[in-house]
Each structure stands twice: as structure tokens, then as C-alpha cells.
Amino acid sequence: MSKRSVAAADVSGKRVFLRVDFNVPLKDGRIVDDTRIRAALPTIRDLVDRGARVIVASHLGRPKGKPSPEASLAPAAARLSELLGQPVVLAADTAGPSARHLIDGMAPGQAVMIENLRFDPGEEANDDAFADRLAALADLYVDDAFGAAHRAHASVSGIAERLPAYAGYLLQREADILQRLLDNPAHPFVAVVGGAKVSDKLAVLEHLLDRVDALLIGGGMANTFLLAQGREVGNSLAERDLIGSAAAFIDRARAIGVDLRVPQDVVIAAAIDAPSGDVVAADAVPAGMAIFDIGPATVASFAEVISSAGTVFWNGPMGVFERPPFAAGTRGVALAVAACPGFTVVGGGESVAAVEQAGLAGKIDHISTGGGASLELLEGRILPGLAAIPDA
């Protein structure tokens, strides 16, 4: 999936509209995790070093088409200034007088940031007039926002129809690596999938089933699979309307020889805010109790499969890892993936947060910056952000 690369663009002195994904987590106005900002640095530095006038653009949060102080990109502009080693001034608007004034005053090798794209309702609506206003700011377009590549928004697909469009280094690397998982993974190929709901992941599970050798399922979504096996899960989160789909999936995996594993033991408690949990067999969850993590035997079982993998793809936590009583399962999987000698890919915000918190990010071969975009690509869907960039 080779796209026309920014490396082939003549950017010297040009105004380059650079779409990035700086939708970073904030707490009290401070960035909690700057992974997405750091991931875009190779493209930004390349443009700056080649004398481009770089217009950095991103969304943040869900301000619903209206300016919102808590969704301002000010913390992102400050952090990018630190990482880049030069000031990155934030415009007071998105494509208005402030943005145009800053852009007009830029010298080659400088970067400015425009305000949150989603402050304008035209962004998510892919409005032609808003795309026109964005395109008027620049001479060419570079997309490095893989995390937004599944959105047909004005700054993702609309602007690419109006300017010469190129893929940034992050976007191209994400597309190449995830496509490699579908087309040419080293075997055994192991997928570890967690998270809350089967409905969020069923399409990607079905698309991966013919490609993987083993599929390890944890998190809240595993409860629906446990129900499909005739086990009771008490008050646990489950999608009972999908029990039939889960049962059919289990039968199909068995028929084609995929090693499908669900929790054999679990950590239970009466409520999510319980100070501790108890480990029980997955078929011995009492009424009134709920599953909040996989148990140690399951971690060991999953780790055994992961240890001999040629390729591992992990998306989704194994439990409510934000709470200490229910963090061991996700941490155990993170350790196993980090120790795997094969090619390892971690995608999805919570999975990435888990490996970051455990200090294991440096031991993962590729950490994807796109949760929803990663899953949609692995479902075999066409992503608007990739489709908008001409092939190499």
C-alpha cells in the first residue's frame, strides 16, 4: 500500500498543510501521554529541515463544532515546541484571520499550529466550504494522521481533493505494517484481542480468523464467549444478543484449526470499585459477582502461546487495568508481548497506555497510533485518509 510520499515532494519555501493526530489525553490541562506527538516528529522535522512553512493541524476531543477552552490545542503546541526545539505558535482560530496572519508571516523552516479543527462544524461534516478555506491556507497537503484516517472529514479527505496530497512517514509506516499483518505475517500469527464489547471487535475477529494461528480473547468481550460456551458470568458486562454469533465464531475457529482461547480463570468482585478481587475458575462465577480481569492461569496460558509467535497483534486490555486490583492480566500480557522474539504490534489507546505504563514500549516493534483506524484497516475496509493520497 505504497502512497506518494512526502519525501518526493518539493516543499522548500512552500506552505505545507500537515494533518497530524494530536488527539492526546489531557488531565487538568496537561498532556498525560505525548506518544502521538512524538510519533509525528520525523515528518515535522523533515519538513522544517527542508525549508517548508509548516501548518500543523489536528483535532482534539469532541467539541461538537464549537470553540471550547478545554479542547484547545494549546498544550499540544507547547509540547511540540519543546520536542521540536523551536517555537510553534498557536493561532486563535482554525482558518480565520489569526491563522492567515500567522501563516503569512512564516519564514521557511518555521511551523505554526492552527486551532482545533473540530471547533468548526464543517470539519466532521466534510463541508466543501470549510475544505476550501483550509486548502486556501497552503500550497500542498501532507497527511500524517493515521489515527484519523478512517474519518471522511474536511481535513482528511476534503482538502486532499484540492491540493497536491502526500503521505507522511507515520501514515505510510502504519499502513505498511498493518497491511503486512493481513498479507504476509510471520507464523505462528497470534492475535490478542480484548476490550469491553464483542460488537466493537467482531468484524476484525472475523477478518483475522483465516489468517491467524491462535486467537486469545480477554476483557469484557470474553464474557460473551464464556456465555456461548455455556458458562455463567454473574453480573459481568456481556452482550447476550451476540451469544449466537460468538458460538458460531467458536465453531468456525475449531473447524479451521485456529487455537481459540478464552479465560480459564478470572478475577471477580462485587463492584468495579472493590478494593480487591478474588480469583475463581471461569465456570465458577457466583451470582451477584462480576468479572473484571483475567486470572493468573489465563495469563500463563496466553503467555505460552505468545512466546512462540512469529507475529503478535494486540488490541484491547484484558480487564479494568486502570484499577490496581484488576491490572495484573493486562500487565501480564504486556510483559509476554514485550518478551516475544517475533514481530510485535500493539494498537488501541488502552493497550498502548498499558505498555507505556509498564515501561515496555521500547520492546514493542510497532505501536500503532490509530485505534479505530487500525481495526478498520484490519477489517479490510478502505480508509478515506489513505484513499485520498495518490499511490506512489
Please provide the distance, in angstroms rounded to a whole number, between the alpha carbons at the two ends of the chain: 9
- Dihedral angle over CA of 266, 269, 272, 276, nearest 10: -90
36 is catalytic: yes
372 classed as catalytic: yes
Contact (CB, 8 A) for 335 and 194:
no
Of 349, 370, 371, 385, which is the active-site residue?
349
Q: What secondary structure does DSSP assign to 164-225, as a single string?
A: -EEE-HHHHHHHHHHHHHHH-PPSSEEEEE-SS-HHHHHHHHHHHHTT-SEEEE-STHHHHH
In 3D space, the residue among 88, 118, 175, 113 whose CA is nearest the CA of residue 384 turns out to be 175
Which member of 36, 53, 133, 201 is catalytic?
36
Amino acid in position 339: A
| Cα-Cα-Cα-Cα dihedral sign, residues 190, 194, 198, 200 | negative
Among candidate residues 220, 149, 204, the one with its CA nearest the CA of residue 314: 204
Question: Which string of b and e fits 280-318 if b means at least 16 CB within 10 Å?
Answer: bebeebeeebbbbbbbeebbebbbebbeebebbbbbbbb
Active-site annotation holder among 180, 197, 323, 381: 197
Q: Looking at residue 370, what DSSP letter applies?
A: -
Instruction: Tell me the three cell numbers of residue 205.
Output: 475477529
Query: Do 292 and 272 contact (CB within 8 A), yes or no?
Result: yes
Q: Is 197 assigned a catalytic role?
A: yes
Residue 25, class by beta-carbon neighbours within 10 Å (0-12 exposed, 13-18 middle, 19+ buried)? Answer: middle
CA–CA gap between residue 3 and residue 9 (Å, rounded): 12
The total of other beta-carbon atoms located within 10 Å of residue 226's CB is 24
Q: Which residues are catalytic?
A: 36, 197, 349, 372
